Amino acid sequence: METTNKLPLDMVYHWETAKANSLYMTQPIGDGKVVEYTWGRAVDEARRMASYIKSLNLPEKSRVGLISKNCAHWIMTDWAIWMAGHVSVPLYPTLNADTVNYVLNHAECDVLFVGKLDDWDMMKPGVPESVRCISFPLSPSNDFETWDDIVAKYPPLEENVQRDADELATIVYTSGSTGKPKGVMLSFRNMAFAAAGGMDVLQVGPNERMLSYLPLAHVFERTFVELASLYAGFHLFFAESLDTFVEDMKRAQPTLFLSVPRLWVRFQQGVLQKLPQKKLNTLLKIPVVSKLIKKKVLTGLGLDKVKLAGSGSAPLAGDVLDWYRNLGLELLEGYGMSENFAYSHINKPGRSRTGYVASPCRVWKRK
């Protein structure tokens, strides 16, 4: 069944004209400073990088690697690779050298974009000498060609390159917890189906704000942040670091927020260290005080503007789910796999039941 006839690049071209001067991405660059990208600027830089990639005369539908923490250039590179007619291969920014080497060789990558990383010195021995590397502005020190030099030198690709729905768009490698990482091959149709379907179910619109901080190399973030922003046209913010996370949240004031169970638990523990559960329970029973306490707790977490929150990648304990819901946060669980681009089962707003994922007609019960 078709969910949409709009593929990811169709949406890129749509916003390039429909919202050319509207802010799309806000990128921290340190010391409290940010760089802001309008849709027009983001697509222009992607087009210029696509021109550069095409100038390399790579074989048709070559695999191009991408290793970086989340940043604006990650998104633009994904588009540029597609515009140039190739396939993007994201790598987790925490891999060791052996796994970096395995993925690059297994995918047969000839080019690698290197971005914001904490342990590049540990990773770089895994990059084959034959692989051409390009450096993002926030990457560790290196002697590679740089993004800024390339986009200054190359003209934007003029044509609106169209990719067939069934063409391979990306290869997503699993974590390797059961052996060697496995490459999941996803087409543009796969991506469009998941993104458009998810946005329809969750009723996401163009006025949302999201903070991107979970790895974009994982399908969870790729579908519900990168592709969601592309299909809904909303404002995307990036986190600078773990140390600045609170400031990053305050800057973004997200209306949609995704996390994983260990972080939801960590957020909860941080609150309970300051406000023990017994005292919190007492305050929540007082009608006049309850509303103020709920708002104060959610504001302290940077979640006071969030209308929809999600948890995925692993089951979240029922008591933790109920704890957030008692504070008034609409926290929904989802279940998916790399093979279906994280679009499989999800609770709908206003229709959640602790211990279950999805609606009654298609239920997955946690054991």
Report yes or no on whether pTM surpasses 0.95.
Answer: no
Question: So what's the pLDDT on residue 360?
Answer: 44
Mutual orientation of helices 72-83 and 8-18 as an angle, nearest 10°? 110
Q: Are 338 and 172 in contact (CB under 8 A)?
A: yes
Q: Are residue 183 and residue 259 in the same domain, yes or no?
A: no
Q: What are phi and psi of 151, to 5 degrees?
A: -70, -20
Residue 21 structural domain: 8-188
Say how many domains are in the chain: 2
Q: Using one digit for the tens of pLDDT, what is the confidence trace for 53-111?
A: 999 999 999 999 999 999 999 999 999 999 999 999 999 999 999 999 999 999 999 99
Query: N- to C-terminal Cα distance for the chain?
Result: 31
Q: Using one digit for the tens of pLDDT, what is the confidence trace for 23-63?
A: 999 999 988 899 999 999 999 999 999 999 999 999 999 99
Question: So what's the pLDDT on residue 311?
Answer: 82
CA atoms of 70 and 249, how far apart (whole Å): 15
Question: So what's the pLDDT on residue 22?
Answer: 96
Q: What are phi and psi of 203, to 5 degrees?
A: 55, 50
Q: Using one digit for the tens of pLDDT, what is the confidence trace for 214-268?
A: 899 988 888 888 999 999 999 999 999 888 888 898 899 999 998 888 888 888 8
| 160 falls within a domain | yes
| 236 falls within a domain | no
pLDDT exceeds 80 at position 178: no
In the chain, helix, strand, coil percent, each to 5? 40, 20, 40
3-state SS string over 281-338? HHHHCCHHHHHHHHHHHHHHCCCCCCCEEEECCCCCCHHHHHHHHHCCCCEEEEECCH
| 246 falls within a domain | no
Q: Sort strands 308-311 and 63-67 into parallel, antiparallel or unpaired.
A: unpaired
User: Which pLDDT band, with edges at 50, 70 and 90, does 176 fall under?
Assistant: low
| 165 falls within a domain | yes
Q: Are residue 180 and residue 262 in the same domain, yes or no?
A: no
Q: Using one digit for the tens of pLDDT, what is the confidence trace for 314-360?
A: 778 888 888 888 888 888 877 767 777 666 667 676 666 676 666 64
Show which of 188, 216, 238 is a domain's final residue.
Answer: 188
Show which of 188, 206, 223 is a domain's final residue.
Answer: 188
Q: Are residue 146 and residue 264 in the same domain, yes or no?
A: no
CA atoms of 225 and 209, how far apart (whole Å): 10
Show which of 188, 205, 220 is a domain's final residue.
Answer: 188
